[in-house]
Amino acid sequence: MNRDLAHQSIAVIGYGITGRACVRFLLSQQATVCVFDRDVNIQETVMSDTNVKVAVFEPDMSLSSFSIVIVSPGVNPHLPCFATYREQGGVLIGDIELFAWFNKTPLIGITGSNGKTTVTDMLGKVLKSAGLHVQLAGNYGKCAVDLLLEQAHKTTPLDIVVLELSSYQLEMTESLQLEFASILNITEDHLDRHGNFEAYKIAKQRIFTMAKNIVVCRDEVFSYPPTIELNEVGISNENTRICAEVGLLNSLTGYSVGEILVSDCLSNSNMDNCSSDLAQAIAEPCIQFNGTALFALSDLHLKGSHNYINIMIVLAICDQLSLDRELTIKAICDYKGLPHRFETIRVSTLKAADKTSTITWINDSKATNVGACQAALACFTKSDDYLVLIAGGDAKGVDLSPLKEVIDSQVNQLIVLGKDAHKFIQLIPNAIHVRNLQEAVATSLSLIQKADCANAVVLLSPACASLDMFVNYQDRGEIFASAVTEQMA
């Protein structure tokens, strides 16, 4: 493949954020560019930005006149026109593959059905705290292709780029060279795009073919390359090496959750005056490496088993980079997370007659699939709080039945809304169907008032995409937060 793009005729399919970034870079390389988009007004939109050819996209159109076709992540690459183009020998790629052709900066790749943005963001902040020049890109942060233009005009090169990689991006990429990579988890998602779980899993696991070193999770079988057995740290699969393992269960190897006595003096704690008199100290859960305690879970802002896995993966990558572990731990413990991800937005009180209930409102709007909702509900396994779950939206063709057991066992009342609300009601017949989030919040208050409970939690963790009712998951989370504020004012 000729990667000298000058004067090559290249099509860009989709003129959103990614498509525009690709056009900017291609023009900088003197390519001849044609933009295709389903927007019938695309001519006016593109011509106001730059001088390129423009046409309305049709799923059965011919693309044979182009030497390269770049497909934006939101465009399905399995449409008939793309299949025909490939059969004709055409080069069909995504934006990350274009980036990979020209990138010269060391890369770390993070993917997974859930948690990848948190890990990418946390890792970026920890690396920056160590003094490294870092940029986040891909599915989170900047468009990766934009980094190529930025670096061409900067005298100080980046030390590392951390890429969040979606299944859409990975299925269209093959030349990426990652120093480190990790698959956090793989659960059913985007089946409306990939067709079935196996195709979705294969798209995610393409990251293994592009990574020199991988960090795996003992609790997630799909985080291992298919040909490598579990618990084989240091084993190579062709050019890929498992460099570290993490897991929730106590282990004497790798990173895990263990226990320490509260009298133990950890380097990052304030227990400078530990006394030998504390013989009856209570065991406290901690993050450990090779059986040695590193820091207590109580030192962290992030809570929940899913976040402990995320934290250990960040720690493992930083250890592999030989960063100062004490500084790494401090930065991890200081990290407060991102909005709309199991975010406590308010703690309020509800007084009725002679009793008062304390209500914790949690915005987990980013939980756009079943696995994310399961992870959120797992945080309440040992809780006696009265739990109201608000769920629903567009399930994206995914089977919701794995939620039934955990909802039956842990949720006091399910409230549902959106396109696939009926699918939740089929699982949980006593679920309450509401029209919007404002009604969901009001209904939650009414339920708690009748429940006669001291402590309650209202959790928005939809297990579905948001686009049936909202602009995006952020919009959904913000409307939920506003509804809570209005009700509790």
pLDDT of residue 360: 97
Q: Residue 241 corresponds to which tokens in the numbers above?
A: 């090496």
pLDDT of residue 226: 86
- Asked if the 9-93 domain carries CATH number 3.90.180.10, the reply is no
pLDDT of residue 263: 57
CATH number of 95-269+280-338: 3.40.1190.10
Which residues, 6 or more positions from 276, have their beta carbon under 8 angstroms from its beta carbon?
none
Whole-angstrom distance, CA of residue 484 vs CA of residue 45:
38
Instruction: Give the number of other CB atoms < 10 A from CB of residue 6.
Output: 9
**CA dihedral sign of residues 383, 388, 394, 395:** positive
Q: What Rg do the C-alpha atoms of the chain give, in angstroms?
A: 24
pLDDT of residue 328: 98
Residue type, 459: L
Residue 287: C-alpha distances to residues 103, 112, 119, 259, 281 (Å): 35, 22, 16, 8, 18
Is residue 397 within 8 A of residue 421, CB to CB? The reply is no
The DSSP element (H or E) to which 315 belongs, if any, is helix 305-320
Q: Residue 432 corresponds to which tokens in the numbers above?
A: 């309450």
Q: Residue 95 corresponds to which tokens in the numbers above?
A: 């934006």
Q: Running along the chain, 489 residues long, what does each successive block of 10 average in pLDDT? A: 91 96 96 94 78 92 97 96 97 98 97 97 98 98 96 90 98 97 96 93 96 96 79 60 96 95 53 49 91 96 96 98 98 97 95 87 97 95 94 96 97 98 98 98 96 95 98 98 94
pLDDT of residue 210: 96
Instruction: Provide the residue ranges of all domains of the chain, joining segments of one domain with +.
Output: 9-93, 95-269+280-338, 343-488
pLDDT of residue 279: 46
**Topology of the domain covering 343-488:** Protein-Tyrosine Phosphatase; Chain A (3.90.190)
Q: At what angle do helices 473-488 and 437-451 cross, to 10 degrees?
A: 50
pLDDT of residue 278: 45
Distance of CA 66 to the CA centre of its chain: 34
Whole-angstrom distance, CA of residue 247 vs CA of residue 221:
11
Model pTM score: 0.91
Q: Residue 394 corresponds to which tokens in the numbers above?
A: 């567009």
pLDDT of residue 44: 82
